[in-house]
Amino acid sequence: MACPPAAHPSPPRQPTVKVILAAADVSRVVDRIAHQILEKTQGAADTVLLGIPTRGAPLARRLAARISTFEDVDVPVGVLDITLYRDDLRRHATRAIGPTELPPGGIDGKRVVLVDDVLFSGRTVRAALDALNDIGRPASVQLAVLVDRGHRQLPIRADYVGKNIPTSLAENVKVTLAETDGADEVKLVGGVPA
């Protein structure tokens, strides 16, 4: 009786990757959000942009630069570190605490626009709201995100969205920016195909 041939192991399957936004698309999305901020805030009067690290900080600086180009308005920009306010600190390895940098005029009485790259569960934004509460009292808070991928776990909604990308929980949205990663791109990385 002949033995069946030995099975050769299949190579591991790679997750699917789809480019959602190329560099030119990211630039157009930032321009659109800057225009929306100008429109919704009556010319960005008394507005401060606070970027949430890592990629929200350069996005906030880009938005401020585009607003300045469009309307010759200098919008103060800062960085809001949320590390100590995260609700997953016990489950993940220790994280380095980054600086919180407020603009010289502070945030009290101002309209603060929090800026982040991806809105997912809403937990990062909740942490940002807690951090913001500890450093000042803004008149109002808005949220600008490059990508909203859905699957909210908290009742949080963005005021300015660059791109809505419906996703499954098996997929990830990967944002790269020139300032942090060397190139601008948004990719949808799927689960391993069947």
The answer to whether position 193 is within a domain reads no
- Could you tell me the residue range of the domain that residue 133 belongs to? 24-82+106-166
The answer to whether position 73 is within a domain reads yes
The answer to whether position 9 is within a domain reads no
Angstrom distance (rounded) from CA 64 to CA 57: 11
The answer to whether position 30 is within a domain reads yes
Helix axes 56-71, 23-40, angle to 10 degrees: 60
Strands across the sheet with 172-176, in order?
17-21, 185-189, 172-176
Angstrom distance (rounded) from CA 180 to CA 194: 33
Angle value at C-alpha 117, between 175 and 58, nearest 5 degrees: 95
The answer to whether position 153 is within a domain reads yes
The answer to whether position 4 is within a domain reads no
- Residue ranges in the chain whose pLDDT is less than 50: 194
Number of folded domains that form the chain? 1
Q: What pLDDT sits at residue 4?
A: 59
The answer to whether position 97 is within a domain reads no
pTM, 2 dp: 0.89
Q: What pLDDT sits at residue 192?
A: 55
What does DSSP assign to residue 44?
T
Per residue in 120-161, pLDDT tens?
Answer: 999 999 999 999 999 999 999 999 999 999 999 999 999 999
Count each helix (H run) and each strand (E run) in the chain, helices first. 4, 8
- CATH code at 32? 3.40.50.2020
The answer to whether position 116 is within a domain reads yes
Q: 38-50: b or e for each residue (b if 16 or more CB lie within 10 Å)?
A: beebeebebbbbb
